[in-house]
Copies of this chain bind each other. A is one copy, B any other.
Amino acid sequence: MALKLGDLAPSFVAETTQGEIDFHKYIDGSWAILFSHPNDFTPVCTTELGAVGKFMPEFEKRGVKVLALSCNDVESHKAWIKDIESFTPEAQVSYPIISDPKRDLAVQFGMLDPDEQDAAGIPLTARAVYVFGPDKKLKLSILYPATTGRNFHEVLRVIDSLQLTANHSVATPVNWNAGDKCMVVPGLSNEAAAAKFPKGFETIEVPSGKQYIRLTPQPNI
C-alpha cells in the first residue's frame, strides 16, 4: 500500500552505508527526501545516484536530508558508490543508502514494482520519491518504473515550491520555476493580500467575472 499525502512517515531503524539510522531522528525538524532505486550496479540507477550526489549542495542549501534505498546489502552499496562517483565525477555520494534486503520498508512505503524482479523472482523497488516536511508528513510523491530515470531538476523545483508555499500565502502555477510569479491563495481576501504582499498583486479578468486569478511576484526574494 502506497503512502498518501498527509500520512506520517513510518518510523523505522535501518542499516545504511553510514551505519544504523533511525529515520524519524534523522529527519527531525528538516525537510527530507527518501528515494528508492531498483538495483545496485545497474545503468539508470548509477546515473540517478550520481545526479543526486552532484546536487547535494542544492539539497543542503534547502535544508533537505537525503536518503536512498534499495534491497541490496550494505557491502554492495559501498562497492557500487565507487562506480557512481567514477561515472559522475562531480558527484559525492555523501548521503546514506539504506539496505532493505527483506523488503520491509519497500512494502511499508509502497515502493515495489511487480515488473522488476531479482534472480529469485522477488519484486524489486521502483523509482519512488517521497518528500516529507518538517512535520514528518508526506508532502509529495512520485513513482516511476525501472525503465524511466527520474528528473532531479523537477525534484528540486517541487522542493522550492513546497518550501515557499508552506511559509507564504501563495501557490505555484503550472510549470513554475523559482523566481516566477506566484498565485495568491484563494483563502486570502484582497485586503489581506494587499497587506501581505508589499510588491502588490495583479488580478486577471476571466469570463466568469470571478476574481480568483491573482498573480504576485515570488514573496521571499
Contact = CB atoms under 8 A, between A and B. Distances in A.
Interface in A17-76: 41-44, 46-48, 50-51
A186 interface: yes
A54 B115 CA distance: 33
A208 B41 contact: yes
Interface residues of A, number: 67
Interface in A103-137: 110, 112-115, 126
Contact of A147 (B80, B86, B171): B171
B4 A112 contact: yes
A193 to B, nearest CB: 12
A171 B83 contact: no
Contacts of A79: 208
A143 B138 CA distance: 10
A158 to B, nearest CB: 6
B113 A171 contact: no
A12 interface: no
Given A2-B3, A174-B149, A43 B162 contact: no
Interface string A132-154: 00000001111111111111111
Contacts of A149: 161, 171-176
Contacts of A152: 174-175
B4 A43 contact: no
Contacts of A115: 5-6
A94 to B, nearest CB: 17
A198 interface: no
Given A43-B213, A153-B175, A186-B42, A145 B5 contact: yes
Contacts of A162: 145, 147-148
A119 B143 CA distance: 31
10 contacts: A1-B2, A5-B112, A47-B175, A80-B208, A82-B208, A140-B148, A148-B165, A149-B161, A149-B174, A154-B154
